Chain A
Amino acid sequence: MGKEFLNDFEELILTLVAALRENAYGAAITIEIEQWLGRKATLSAVHVILYRLEDKGYIKSIVGGATNERGGRRKRIYSITNAGLAVLRTMKETRTEIWKLVPQLKMVNS
């Protein structure tokens, strides 16, 4: 994979951006991480990774509408680019390939 390496947090956020679609922005992603994984993510860390992914061209952003919930501030909504989708897919496939090498042992009830 070389250059296209993403660490797990980056991969997670990229996946979430792809999944959340028009709802993918900093706060929503942070809350989603908490709900899906049960672990707290700091907002600043999420933001830093979003900017990094955008720099790498995996996601792009537009400034979206404001809601009352956010004190009238606008959101920056991210969407995944083709490059991002490709990377995500490659990573997922690589992982599946590797998974296939693992002997499929049957779980025996004890």
Chain B
Amino acid sequence: MKSLPSWAERLLRAICPDEFYEQIEGDLIEIYNYEVRTTGKRKAKLRFILACFRFFRPGIILRNKIDIEQNYFLMYKNYFVTGMRHIRKSKVNFAFKLGGLSLAIFSFLSIAMYVSYQTSYDTHHTDHQNVYRVNSLRKKADQVEKYAIVPHAIGPMLKQNIPEIEAIARIKYAHGSYLRYEDKSVSSGGFLIEADSTLFDLLKFDFIEGSSNALKNPNGIVLTRKISENLFGAASALGRLITINNRDDVYQVTAVIENPSHTSIGIEAVILDKTESTLNSIVSPEEFFAQSSTLFVRLKKPVTEQLSSKIESLLNRHIKKSERQEVGFDLFFQPISNIYLDPEYQGEMGSKGSATYVYAFSVLGVLLLMMAAINYVNLSIADFTSRARETGVRKVLGARKYQLVSQVSLETLLFSLFALTLGVGALYLLFPKVTQLLDGDLRFEMLLNPRVTILAGSGLVVLLFFSTYFPAKMSTTSGVIQNLKSRSTGYNSSLSKILLFVQFGISAICISCAVMVGNQISFIHNKDLGFNKENLLMLNMPRGFTVNNMTTFKHELKQVAGVTQVSNSSFFISGGYGTDWYFVEQESKPEMKQVELYEVFSDDELFSTLEIKILQGRGFDAEIPSDSGAAFIVNESAVRELGWKEPLGKRIYTHPEEKGKWDGTVVGVVSDINISPLYDKVKPLVMRLPWTNEYPDGFIYVRYTGDAKPVIQSVEEKYKTIMPGYPLNWFHVAELYNRGHEKENKAYASLQFGTLVIVLISVLGIFSMAMYMSVKRMKEFGIRKVLGASVTQISMLHINYFIRLVLIACAVALPVAFMLIEEWLSTFAYRVELNYLPFLLVVLTSVMVVMLSVSYSAWKSGRMNPVDVIKID
């Protein structure tokens, strides 16, 4: 006994004519059994399989009947013709359907490109799955903080002791901000890097000149194309000698790399790292930051448990476990491709993306596609219902189910292809606008990137499926007689109701998100920051700028026409503060408390220059000598944090062990000042004059009136006389501040656009749906009119149907929107409060929009002549 293996059975069934299949199978089995008896099992089996394949011959295959089926292909032409006729009959509907779909495809493609670009950072490195950044954990004020840096000595230690590690490369910021060639100097933009010579073996950068061996030369320097062009123009950079800042060391250009893009690692110029260090910095908090670097490793295979335990025991061998645990030090690996979108760790170098916005955009893309699909389905159902008679005739003439389905699919397919062409065409034309809105690094060719293609392709397939399934189901399941009578009972109004409902809901969510995000953004721009950011310049002084220089420079600056105030302080707008430990007096308790506070050193003119409000007491006074070092000014947050009721006169000691020498008192309270983007809460801050009236190297703030250009020019000239050869590093404070919110601004612009598209699609949908519904109910309206209904009554009847849907949708969607917005706003320390007003606004706008888009058909239904509609049938 033997039956065919299933694959052979399938093969035979596919190639043999149905009427012979059973006998062929039987014969094969019979011969097999005969051969088992005569020649043995193995040979029989072989012959049996061979015999199966031998049926693959024309004498068998050509016996399959294919002539009847061919008719089905001929029908395609007919489908096409009737489809075209239908389009010609309902041009508006067609245009709206096409416009909505193309718009959705356009937006979806842009979003697909953006998302795939954002999620594929740092995937171009060779073997990137095995490249990791080694991060560290460390306790800071009893909380474990994640650092993107590890002590410098860890790298070589891992490389020597752990065989799984194939290569390492460390990078850290180098001192110096300018590269000089002869008498020309160019800012390195803060990305002058010291690195191991293995950097270019581990991470991939495109070399324009030179090779990845560039750093093997101990005095070599690698420049990006941008720096090279700024320094040398179009000429070759190789072999030229340049210096860093005003130092004497000379570096020879050994390679030029393409400006890094699509990577989280920021590099402008790279020199070889020659520093040595010990593992002591693991336990010493002061040395930890100073002696650490970013460490990249390439493993032979992905990270395993075993590797972590090996590292654990290696660390224990070098540093006492108890000591290590006290500072909470540990290492962990982060895949290089995750760095860009993961949250920012301490000491991170280079640019970061925002996972939140990538998710938000993905959701927006899916919503867009959903809207388009719903719209398309709704309109197609309406379309096919109005073509019910055609379907009926086809059925009577013997159309089979699959033929009707193929008619629908074919129409959808052609339609989507057309829309796809339009969408891609629009993307091509509007591409500069898109990159400006989303990401400047996007290129149109990325559309052909497999990730984008797969993403967009799968989206389109889903869209196609839904927009084929429902109309096809409609046309196949409705009764023939109903079709023929053109009675649209087959039209599933509850389905279209649900679809419209979802559409309204999504629109409502998007509109309210856009409104609230807009509110928050204008809040950010208009929030009282505690100082006046307009007409304010910040000059960044280099390290080692002397006190004398500072005094002269300040004096000189005050002479410049247009400059009203000048101040020098360590106050770093858009940057951060330093912290130190202070002993402060407590309210109603005699003993002093030790607290860590953020500190700013500043001269006496800071408050008037930045226009910071002094709430209590006074500012610093240069005339009072005891102010220097002994006078403290705190901000509101500090008062709150320290629990002071009467802040003035409270004592603050910096070194209590030397009694009397370093004692100070609070002389004033200022309002809170936001120096960084509004994600962060204002820190408790103490401000003081430097002890010996020595000005720290830091920042100079210049308040000016009138035009900024001449002021900047003369400021630069003054600087040149004091520090010849150094270009001046200056910023507009307002610009600096806005840059911190660039992501929000961009996201807002895109969200606005996305919402606009979504609303537009739903408006198109509502308009066509309303048209269709009005035609459907025309007879009802006619009878009503005959019985005395007025134009307004009939119009309202029509509009009400949609208004009711909108209101229900809003009731469901708005709580969802509320939750989403609350979630987003919670990332800001300073935010607008949610109230019902914007939501009310959303409801009102939705109702208005619906009324507007329905009004045309409502007006038409109200105005029709009852005779025209009732006489039929």
Q: A44 near B55 (CB under 8 angstroms)?
A: yes
B22 at the interface (CB under 8 A from A): yes
A48 at the interface (CB under 8 A from B): yes
Of all chain A residues, the one with the shortest Cβ separation from B58 is A48
Contacts of A12 on B, CB cut-off 8 Å?
none
Surface stretch bound by B, among A69-77, A85-93, A102-110: A69-77
Within 8 A of A (CB), among B35-74: 51, 54-55, 57, 59-60, 63
- Cα distance, A7 to B25, chains bound together (Å): 27
User: Which residue in B2, B22, B34, B63 is a CB contact (below 8 Å) of A27?
Assistant: B34
B-contact bits for A1-33, CB 8 A (1 contact / 0 none): 000000000000000000000000111101100
- Cα distance, A30 to B24, chains bound together (Å): 12
Q: A71 near B55 (CB under 8 angstroms)?
A: no
Contacts of A27 on B, CB cut-off 8 Å?
26-28, 30-31, 34
Q: A30 near B29 (CB under 8 angstroms)?
A: no
With A42-B54, A45-B54, A69-B33: A75-B26 Cβ-Cβ less than 8 Å: yes
Q: B59 near A70 (CB under 8 angstroms)?
A: no
Contacts of B57 on A, CB cut-off 8 Å?
44, 48
B80 at the interface (CB under 8 A from A): no
- Cα distance, A47 to B54, chains bound together (Å): 11
Q: How far is the CB of B39 from chain A (nearest CB, A)?
A: 11
A37 at the interface (CB under 8 A from B): no
Contacts of A47 on B, CB cut-off 8 Å?
20, 24, 27, 55, 59-60
Q: B25 near A73 (CB under 8 angstroms)?
A: yes
Of all chain A residues, the one with the shortest Cβ separation from B59 is A48
- Cα distance, A45 to B29, chains bound together (Å): 16
B3 at the interface (CB under 8 A from A): yes
A83 at the interface (CB under 8 A from B): no
Q: How far is the CB of A8 from chain B (nearest CB, A)?
A: 17
B1 at the interface (CB under 8 A from A): yes
Contacts of B54 on A, CB cut-off 8 Å?
42-45
B-contact bits for A56-77, CB 8 A (1 contact / 0 none): 0000000100111111011110
Q: B3 near A71 (CB under 8 angstroms)?
A: yes
Q: A71 near B26 (CB under 8 angstroms)?
A: yes
Q: B23 near A31 (CB under 8 angstroms)?
A: no
Contacts of B60 on A, CB cut-off 8 Å?
44, 47-48
- Cα distance, A28 to B31, chains bound together (Å): 8
Q: B1 near A26 (CB under 8 angstroms)?
A: no
Q: A74 near B31 (CB under 8 angstroms)?
A: no
- Cα distance, A44 to B51, chains bound together (Å): 7
- Cα distance, A51 to B596, chains bound together (Å): 99
A39 at the interface (CB under 8 A from B): no
Contacts of A66 on B, CB cut-off 8 Å?
26
Q: A25 near B59 (CB under 8 angstroms)?
A: no
Contacts of A25 on B, CB cut-off 8 Å?
23, 27
Contacts of B2 on A, CB cut-off 8 Å?
71
Contacts of A31 on B, CB cut-off 8 Å?
31, 34
Q: B26 near A70 (CB under 8 angstroms)?
A: yes
- Cα distance, A63 to B24, chains bound together (Å): 12
Contacts of A52 on B, CB cut-off 8 Å?
59
Q: B26 near A43 (CB under 8 angstroms)?
A: no
With A44-B54, A44-B57: A70-B27 Cβ-Cβ less than 8 Å: yes
Among B26, B34, B55, chain A packs the most CB atoms within 10 A around the CB of B26
With A27-B31, A43-B31: A68-B1 Cβ-Cβ less than 8 Å: yes
Q: A71 near B31 (CB under 8 angstroms)?
A: no
Q: How far is the CB of B23 from chain A (nearest CB, A)?
A: 4
Of all chain A residues, the one with the shortest Cβ separation from B22 is A73
Contacts of A70 on B, CB cut-off 8 Å?
26-27, 29-30
Of all chain B residues, the one with the shortest Cβ separation from A55 is B63
- Cα distance, A67 to B34, chains bound together (Å): 14
Q: B1 near A51 (CB under 8 angstroms)?
A: no
Q: How far is the CB of B31 from chain A (nearest CB, A)?
A: 5
Contacts of B20 on A, CB cut-off 8 Å?
47, 51, 76
Of all chain B residues, the one with the shortest Cβ separation from A40 is B47
Q: How far is the CB of A71 from chain B (nearest CB, A)?
A: 4
Contacts of B3 on A, CB cut-off 8 Å?
71
- Cα distance, A44 to B20, chains bound together (Å): 12
Q: A74 near B55 (CB under 8 angstroms)?
A: no
- Cα distance, A68 to B34, chains bound together (Å): 13
Q: How far is the CB of A85 from chain B (nearest CB, A)?
A: 23
With A43-B51, A44-B51: A51-B26 Cβ-Cβ less than 8 Å: no
Within 8 A of A (CB), among B461-483: none
Contacts of A45 on B, CB cut-off 8 Å?
54
A-contact bits for B593-610, CB 8 A (1 contact / 0 none): 000000000000000000
Q: B27 near A30 (CB under 8 angstroms)?
A: yes
Q: How far is the CB of A28 from chain B (nearest CB, A)?
A: 8
Contacts of A73 on B, CB cut-off 8 Å?
22-23, 25-26, 29
Q: How far is the CB of A51 from chain B (nearest CB, A)?
A: 7
Of all chain B residues, the one with the shortest Cβ separation from A49 is B59
Q: A71 near B24 (CB under 8 angstroms)?
A: no
Q: How far is the CB of B844 from chain A (nearest CB, A)?
A: 75
- Cα distance, A75 to B30, chains bound together (Å): 10
User: Which residue in A26, A42, A67 is a CB contact (below 8 Å) of B24?
Assistant: A26
With A48-B57, A71-B3, A76-B23: A43-B28 Cβ-Cβ less than 8 Å: yes
User: Which residue in A26, A48, A51, A68 is a CB contact (below 8 Å) of B27?
Assistant: A26
Contacts of A51 on B, CB cut-off 8 Å?
20, 59, 63
Of all chain B residues, the one with the shortest Cβ separation from A76 is B23
- Cα distance, A52 to B33, chains bound together (Å): 27
Contacts of B31 on A, CB cut-off 8 Å?
27, 30-31, 43
- Cα distance, A71 to B1, chains bound together (Å): 6
Q: A71 near B34 (CB under 8 angstroms)?
A: no
Of all chain B residues, the one with the shortest Cβ separation from A63 is B23
- Cα distance, A21 to B57, chains bound together (Å): 28
Q: How far is the CB of B735 from chain A (nearest CB, A)?
A: 83
Contacts of B30 on A, CB cut-off 8 Å?
27-28, 67, 69-70
Q: How far is the CB of B50 from chain A (nearest CB, A)?
A: 8
| Sample of 10 A–B contacts (CB below 8 Å) | A27-B28, A27-B31, A43-B31, A43-B54, A43-B55, A44-B54, A47-B20, A47-B55, A52-B59, A71-B25
Give the A-binding residues of B (Cβ under 8 A). 1-3, 20, 22-31, 33-34, 51, 54-55, 57, 59-60, 63
6 smallest CB-CB distances across A and B, nearest first, come from A73-B26, A48-B59, A70-B26, A26-B27, A27-B27, A27-B30
